[in-house]
Amino acid sequence: MSQIVWLIGASNGIGLELAKIYLEKKYRVIVSARDTAHSVALSVLKAEYETTLHLIDMDVSQTRSVLTQTQQVWNTYGGLDMCIYNAGVYESMKIEQWNLEHFEAMNQVNYMGAVRVLTQLTPLFEKQKKGHIAFNISISSYFGLPYGGGYSAPKAALLNLCESIQPELAAKKIKLQVINHGFVKTRLTAKNAFEMPQLLEPEEAARKIYEGVTHSKAFEIKFPWALTRFLHFLRIVPYSLAFSLTKKAL
Ligand SMILES: NC(=O)c1ccc[n+]([C@@H]2O[C@H](COP(=O)([O-])OP(=O)(O)OC[C@H]3O[C@@H](n4cnc5c(N)ncnc54)[C@H](OP(=O)(O)O)[C@@H]3O)[C@@H](O)[C@H]2O)c1
């Protein structure tokens, strides 16, 4: 039987392209987002892949929704081979523009939603004696950049949590991977007024993610190379040097 993958946050952008790849590769796919019926692209896919694509609405910011829908997803095909947590929201804010609702939404979706899914999925994977979960985080988790901290702080928290639980999950035969990539042209980055270096198309990013989670044993899948190296450089040099560079973004 073909492998079963659950894509959380796949109504748009990178997640939608991942869904197309997995369906083409003959996986059985479950796509979740808040309101999948709203996505015309998903309806088109559903018509084409009637039996191998299931759409299950789930709001990762709601504990009850994650609790009930994770079980429904599990029951759909009687188990799950892998889950990619791709849900994310983004608002860039100067300090004068700080908005607590934006902060709360980013914390709920970019961090707490991932915790909710892990809480539900880990015991199911453990009982099944195998599992694979990957989180689409961001290279912004390496170092906080001007105006982007509301987004990158929960992403950094998720990266830190994943580092913390990797050994425990590995002991339970659950493979954990993090995906840290740079700018991708989606509705999320359409909010950026600045020029984004090494901007990728969502199809390209999805292809790299698919290759990484399918063929790599590495904990971290990262791209593109130059931007990843630069953000990593900021993390390891003295703060004085890092801030002399990041202040140029003001
Ligand atoms: N684009 C970039 O440059 C970039 C760079 C690094 C990392 N990332 C990460 O890549 C992932 C995908 O981003 P994208 O650029 O493809 O953005 P996108 O097109 O806006 O996709 C985000 C997905 O998250 C879902 N989502 C948002 N809130 C949700 C909630 N409460 N419950 C369930 N699903 C929810 C959205 O579905 P609904 O709105 O339909 O619910 C959508 O399917 C995100 O985690 C993002 O942080 C993106």
Give the distance (Å) from ligand 1 centre to CA of residue 88: 4
Q: What is the DSSP letter of 80?
A: -
Domains of the chain with bracketed CATH: 4-249 (3.40.50.720)
Distance CA 144, CA 165 (A): 23
Question: 163-220: per-residue pLDDT in tens?
Answer: 999 999 999 999 999 999 999 999 999 999 999 999 999 999 999 999 999 999 999 9
Overall pTM surpassing 0.95 (yes/no): yes
Q: Are 131 and 175 in contact (CB under 8 A)?
A: yes
Q: Cβ(141) to ligand 1 under 6 A?
A: no
Distance CA 38, CA 42 (A): 8
- The answer, yes or no, to whether residue 1 has pLDDT greater than 90, is no
| Test site for ligand 1: of 184, 194, 210, 221, most ligand atoms within 8 A of the Cβ | 184
Atom of ligand 1 nearest to the CA of 15: 16
Question: 103-139: per-residue pLDDT in tens?
Answer: 999 999 999 999 999 999 999 999 999 999 999 999 9
Residue position matching structure tokens 């901007």: 199
Q: Cβ(231) to ligand 1 under 6 A?
A: no
Q: Ligand 1: which residue has its CA nearest to atom 23?
A: 9
Give the distance (Å) from ligand 1 centre to CA of residue 171: 30
